[in-house]
Amino acid sequence: MAAVNGLAYGGGCELVAAADLAVATDDATFALPEVTIGAYPLYVAERVAETVGKKRVMELALTARPIDAARAADWGLVNRVVTPDALEPTVDELVEAIADAPAATIRTTKRAVAARVQESGERDRVRGGFAQVRADEESRAAVERFLHGDPEV
């Protein structure tokens, strides 16, 4: 989980892209300024491009120009944009929602999303992950609560 209140430049922007979820304040900005100092963003090719798309990461990396929080949300770099006083409560709410789910389900979901399920080998791996989740007692209990209409699920 990333919480951004201010600048997320260079490695900070890359960390936001690497996070599963990100919340930013409405005055946050994001940039990859490495080219201005003769360097290159090491993580960009994989993580930021995967998150925002090739053309958008090329704009960030090649121009070194910052984008605001609204554009970062539009591009998928952050999930939510909030006022500074709403940042902590919003992050807390997301963390609590995740913490309420069975850990095995969270792990398997993260792996499946990261795996790019299109490849047949990956599909088999994801199916194996599903079997692991179904074998997990906490996950089975959550499914049972859902099937029985528990409003907390």
Question: Are residues 57 and 107 located together in one domain of the fold?
Answer: no
The answer to whether residue 82 scores a pLDDT higher than 90 is yes
Is 153 part of a structural domain of the chain?
A: no
Is 50 part of a structural domain of the chain?
A: yes
The rounded distance, in Å, linking the Cα atoms of 57 and 5 is 21
Question: Are residues 50 and 10 located together in one domain of the fold?
Answer: yes
E-strand stretches of the chain: 2-4, 7-9, 22-25, 29-31, 67-68, 80-82
Question: Are residues 8 and 71 located together in one domain of the fold?
Answer: yes
Is 152 part of a structural domain of the chain?
A: no
Question: Are residues 84 and 123 located together in one domain of the fold?
Answer: no
Residue 48: what pLDDT? 79
Q: Could you list the active site residues?
A: 14, 34
Last-in-domain residue among 80, 97, 114? 97
The answer to whether residue 152 scores a pLDDT higher than 70 is no
Residue labelled with tokens 């600048």: 7
Range of the domain at 122: 100-147
User: What is the average pLDDT across 127-153?
Assistant: 69
User: What is the average pLDDT across 126-141?
Assistant: 69
Residue labelled with tokens 């209990």: 141
Question: Are residues 105 and 61 located together in one domain of the fold?
Answer: no
